Amino acid sequence: MNADGSALARHSLDGTAAGITAARELTRAFLERRTPPVPEALIQDALLAVSELVTNAVRHAPGPCELTLSDDGRCLLIAVTDTGNALPAPRPADLLGGGGVGLHVLQGLAGRVETRTHAAGKTVQVTLERAQQDA
């Protein structure tokens, strides 16, 4: 924990499907250690966001990825950095298993969904506001 009460964690993931489960476990452990406590509803939203972000990295970007978690007491930031250069874009959802729902899910959960590109790929970050969950 930082002097201002915020917390930051970074985790390297191997880019395989096993990383999705690992990311969820790492996220739950991070959130369960926070003070003030993170409400269970917000933990569930964060776990869903992490699942979507890491799943997209595993499916669409070769190689490892990095999960970054941050909590400043007001907002939870969840970011996944991967090696892919294709930007996420909304597309019609295929409810028969063809995908297309992840970005819609993230936009429904998060106050913000942002993508930043960099020389080695991209970072997709979602912001979940605690205040809405705590109210």
Q: What is the model's pLDDT at position 94?
A: 60
User: Looking at the domain assignment, is residue 97 inside a domain?
Assistant: yes
The pLDDT tens digits for 8-37 are 999 999 999 999 999 999 999 999 999 889
- What is the domain count for the chain? 1
Please give the structure tokens belonging to residue 120. 């080695």
User: Looking at the domain assignment, is residue 2 inside a domain?
Assistant: no
Cα 9 to Cα 67: distance, rounded to the nearest angstrom: 8
Q: What is the model's pLDDT at position 31?
A: 97
* Bond from prior residue into 37 cis (ω within 30 degrees of 0): no
CATH of the domain at 72: 3.30.565.10
Starting from the edge strand earliest in sequence, which strands make up the sheet with 121-129, in order? 7-13, 65-71, 75-82, 121-129, 112-118
Q: Which residue has the higher pLDDT, 36 or 76?
A: 76
Q: Are 66 and 81 a contacting pair, CB within 8 Å?
A: yes
User: Looking at the domain assignment, is residue 31 inside a domain?
Assistant: yes
Specify which residues 11 forms β-bridges with. 67
Q: What is the model's pLDDT at position 97?
A: 60
User: Looking at the domain assignment, is residue 112 inside a domain?
Assistant: yes
Note down the domain range covering 118: 7-134
The pLDDT tens digits for 99-111 are 656 677 788 888 7
Cα 3 to Cα 123: distance, rounded to the nearest angstrom: 26
* 114-130 mean pLDDT: 94
- The whole-model pTM stands at 0.86
User: Looking at the domain assignment, is residue 1 inside a domain?
Assistant: no
